[in-house]
Amino acid sequence: MWRYATLLKQKSDDPAVGHEHIPGTSARLQGVEVSINSLGMRGPEVDLATLGKNRVVIIGDSVAMGWGVPEEDTLRGQLADRLGPNAEVMTTGVGNMNMSQIVAHWLHYSPKIDPQTVVMLATARAPIIQKSDHTGWLVRHSQLYALIVSFIEMAASNSTGEQELVASYRAVWTEGPGIAAMDAAMDRLKLDQERRGYRVVVLLVPEPHSFDPYRFDFINQVMAAKAKERDWIFIDPVPVMKSDPAEKYWVASNDVHANAKAFEIFTDLLLPELTIPKD
């Protein structure tokens, strides 16, 4: 995680983005080869010259990037394989971004990509405001810094730790500057959508710590309502996933990022929405 921040990421010229991938870099991280193409996206080089391709862009954070998962097993990789050669699937996902950063980052790509569909891969961390203390840019934007609180609370197996986690998320998703900033970012995405004519599909990644029971339905309800307000398609994987232990979908025993199995479910749910041509 620390090596990801040092080897593959750099400070963005846009303060609203904060940090971004370094184009043309690669590193082996958590046993997985991660390659950043010339556009600053994880994955192979992108063909933007061929007319008539179904261009699909996944926007999001480290889950959209596919942290800890081999390229072919990421959501981008699985969608590209299933959609076939007439589709160009790419991801602008960068680790440790909230919704404001995710949208600001995408808006730099939007004019040159002209996608048919933008898939917003939203997580429970979407409205969390990045800290701006004196720990330094590198620490603030490393995966370790982003996830350390979640790892500590995941390790706390008692009910008090779980209750505190639920309460903290409920507070963030109910009111305050974080949810307001997320709303404003989604409005900017809506304006760009109307200007450029692509479709938006929102898939909410389940909060990954426990599915038995799943105590974060309030997050799903909030995001579903916000997608509906903007006439976006909303996909909730929880009904499919919660029959199995949450750990089945972790990339490692101490890392709650989505694994290949989770991405397979996301792919199955997204495919019907990605074969509709642009109006």
Lowest mean pLDDT among 124-138, 147-161, 204-218, 236-250: 147-161
Q: Which helix (H) or strand (E) holds 219?
A: helix 217-229
The tens digit of pLDDT for each residue in 2-53 reads: 789 899 999 999 999 999 999 999 999 989 999 999 999 999 999 999 999 9
Q: Which helix (H) or strand (E) holds 194?
A: helix 177-196
Cis-peptide into 111, omega within 30 deg? no
What is the predicted pLDDT for the residue at 3? 87
Gap between the Cα atoms of 246 and 205, Å rounded: 12
pLDDT category of residue 156 using cuts at 50, 70 and 90: very low
Q: Over 80: is that where the pLDDT of 138 sits?
A: no
87 contacts 80 by C-beta, under 8 angstroms? yes
What is the predicted pLDDT for the residue at 157? 39
* pTM for the whole structure: 0.90
The tens digit of pLDDT for each residue in 234-262 reads: 999 999 999 999 999 999 988 999 999 99
The tens digit of pLDDT for each residue in 67-110 reads: 999 999 999 999 999 999 999 999 999 999 999 999 999 999 99
Gap between the Cα atoms of 101 and 115, Å rounded: 19
What the block records as the tokens of 151 is: 């790892």
Q: Where are the alpha helices (DSSP H) in 43-175?
A: 62-65, 75-83, 99-113, 137-140, 143-155, 159-174
The tens digit of pLDDT for each residue in 204-216 reads: 999 998 888 899 9
- In degrees, to the nearest 5, what angle opens at C-alpha 86 toward C-alphas 119 and 28? 60
Q: Comparing 90 with 132, which gets the higher pLDDT?
A: 90
What is the predicted pLDDT for the residue at 277? 53
Mean pLDDT of the chain: 89
The full set of domains in the chain, from first to last, is 51-274 (3.40.50.1110)
pLDDT category of residue 161 using cuts at 50, 70 and 90: low
Strands 233-235 and 199-204: parallel
Phi, psi of 188 (to 5 degrees): -65, -35
Q: Over 50: is that where the pLDDT of 147 sits?
A: no
pLDDT category of residue 220 using cuts at 50, 70 and 90: very high
What is the predicted pLDDT for the residue at 131? 57
DSSP structural state of residue 202: E
What is the predicted pLDDT for the residue at 254? 86
